[in-house]
């Protein structure tokens, strides 16, 4: 087990170096140097330019600059936003809980609907329900979610007036951040009105963000279940006269869930990708919207730091899923 963990963890190092290289060169490859970028359209006096280049160490060879960059990253210094002058790391820290709250609700929704739908579709293979689930999930998988969000706003916010159009909570509420999750914080503060406001703001974005993972989970669960249901031990269990529900719930599901867990882990990347679009549509104050705004403002330190941090989050979750997978499935742990 220890060897398994060490191998997996050591595989992360080249990925980490790769992500830092990507973030490092991101700023270097942009036409013009960082000083010119910071100066913006006003331009800069050549003498001052040379002085600043020296000050920031930008006249050094690239590998020296990269070494310094890594040194700063390891110390947690990701630079300052050009626009707000705030530290990139603290801005990320403030916005990230909003993204996590949204992503968690989305994946929860995807699991609550996707797992049962996939299981029932597999058990009732070729029924109308099965065809329905497969058709809907393929549609969900093909959905341009930025359009899906607009459609839901059109229906629920404009036509029916049930949900708010954008934001995280109605402006009149101020909730002291404890966990950073507004739904939980408002409950902790004992303010139920604020809780309902936060929840109603969360529903549509969570549906939009959960759509693709839901489709993937339903399809994956169905095919994994079908495979397991064809196994000999299931036939044996049925031949023994075991109740059908018990066969499915106890014997089949447990093995069918193994590939599903991997797929859920792989959805983390999809979730962040979707979060960028979802947050833009719903003006959700998370890191996705922050990054898109950084591009239009040419705020390269934010883009650089944000990319690095998100890349590291995804990398860590993937590592965690890999390790978890080894715990659930001994065959992986011992395979070389």
Partner 1 sequence: MSTETLQATAAPAGAPPHPAREFWTYFSANRGAVAGLVVIGLVLFCALFAPLIAPHDPNLTNNTVFLKPPFWQEGGSLSYPLGTDAIGRDILSRLLYGARLSLVIGIAVVALAIVVGIVLGLVAGFFKGIADIAIMRLMDILMTMPSLLLAIVIVAILGPGLMNAMLAVAIVVLPHYVRITRAAVIAESSKDYVVAAQVSGARTGRLMFSEILPNCAAPLIVQATLGVSTAILDAAALGFLGLGAQPPTPEWGTMLADAREFVLRAWWVVTFPGLAILITVLAFNLLGDGLRDALDPKLKR
Please state the closest distance from residue 230 (CB atom) to partner 1, in A: 13
Please state the closest distance from residue 38 (CB atom) to partner 1, in A: 16
* Long-range Cβ contact pairs of 231-239 (< 8 A, separation 24 or more): 231/255
HSE at residue 268, side-chain half, CA atoms within 13 A, is 18
Please state the closest distance from residue 204 (CB atom) to partner 1, in A: 13
Alpha helical stretches, state H, the chain: 2-10, 12-29, 34-39, 46-55, 62-74, 88-123, 128-141, 145-152, 182-188, 192-229, 232-239, 244-246, 253-282, 287-296, 300-328, 330-334
Please state the closest distance from residue 140 (CB atom) to partner 1, in A: 10
Please state the closest distance from residue 86 (CB atom) to partner 1, in A: 20
With respect to partner 1, which residue has the nearer C-beta, 126 or 241? 126
Please state the closest distance from residue 26 (CB atom) to partner 1, in A: 6
User: Cα torsion for 206, 157, 182, 73, to the nearest 10°?
Assistant: 60
**Whose CA is closest to 100, among 220, 268, 222, 240?**
268
Please state the closest distance from residue 151 (CB atom) to partner 1, in A: 7
CA–CA dist 309, 326 (Å, integer): 26
DSSP per-residue string spanning 104-155: HHHHHHHHHHHHHHHHHHHHTTTSHHHHHHHHHHHHHHT--HHHHHHHHIII
With respect to partner 1, which residue has the nearer C-beta, 151 or 250? 151
Q: Fill in the DSSP letter of residue 180.
A: S
Residue 251: Cβ within 10 Å count: 19
With respect to partner 1, which residue has the nearer C-beta, 199 or 314? 314
Catalog residues that contact partner 1 under the rule CB under 8 A: 14-15, 18-19, 22, 26, 29-31, 138-139, 141-144, 146-148, 150-151, 153-154, 158, 269-270, 272-273, 276-277, 280-281, 291-292, 295-296, 303, 307, 310-311, 314-315, 318
CA–CA dist 120, 129 (Å, integer): 8
With respect to partner 1, which residue has the nearer C-beta, 131 or 246? 131
With respect to partner 1, which residue has the nearer C-beta, 194 or 277? 277
With respect to partner 1, which residue has the nearer C-beta, 1 or 6? 6
With respect to partner 1, which residue has the nearer C-beta, 214 or 276? 276
């Amino acid at each position: 087990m220890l060897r398994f963990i060490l191998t997996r963890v050591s595989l992360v190092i080249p990925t980490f170096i790769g992500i830092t290289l990507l973030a490092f060169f991101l700023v270097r490859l942009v036409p013009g140097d960082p000083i010119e970028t910071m100066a913006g359209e006003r331009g800069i006096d050549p003498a001052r330019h040379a002085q600043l280049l020296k000050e920031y160490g930008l006249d050094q060879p690239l590998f020296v600059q990269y070494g310094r960059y890594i040194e700063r990253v390891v110390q947690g210094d990701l630079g300052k936003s050009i626009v707000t002058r705030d530290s990139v790391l603290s801005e990320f820290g403030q916005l990230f809980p909003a993204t996590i709250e949204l992503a968690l609700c989305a994946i929860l929704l995807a699991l609550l609907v996707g797992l049962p739908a996939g299981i029932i579709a597999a058990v009732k293979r070729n029924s109308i329900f099965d065809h329905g689930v497969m058709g809907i999930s393929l549609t969900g998988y093909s959905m341009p979610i930025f359009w899906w969000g607009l459609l839901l706003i059109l229906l629920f916010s404009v036509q029916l007036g049930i949900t708010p159009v954008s934001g995280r909570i109605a402006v009149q509420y101020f909730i002291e951040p404890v966990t950073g999750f507004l739904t939980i914080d408002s409950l902790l503060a004992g303010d139920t009105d604020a809780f309902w406001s936060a929840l109603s703001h969360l529903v549509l974005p969570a549906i939009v963000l959960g759509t693709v993972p839901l489709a993937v989970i339903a399809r994956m669960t169905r095919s994994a279940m079908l495979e397991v249901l064809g196994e000999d031990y299931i036939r044996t269990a049925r031949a023994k006269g075991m109740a059908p529900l018990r066969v499915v719930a106890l014997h089949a599901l447990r093995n069918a869930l193994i590939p599903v867990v991997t797929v859920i882990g792989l959805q983390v990347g999809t979730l962040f990708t979707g979060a960028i679009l979802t947050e833009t549509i719903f003006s959700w104050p998370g890191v996705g919207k922050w990054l898109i705004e950084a591009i239009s403002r040419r705020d390269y330190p934010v883009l650089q730091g944000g990319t690095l941090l998100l890349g590291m989050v995804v990398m860590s979750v993937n590592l965690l899923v890999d390790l978890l997978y080894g715990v659930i499935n001994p065959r992986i742990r011992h395979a070389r």
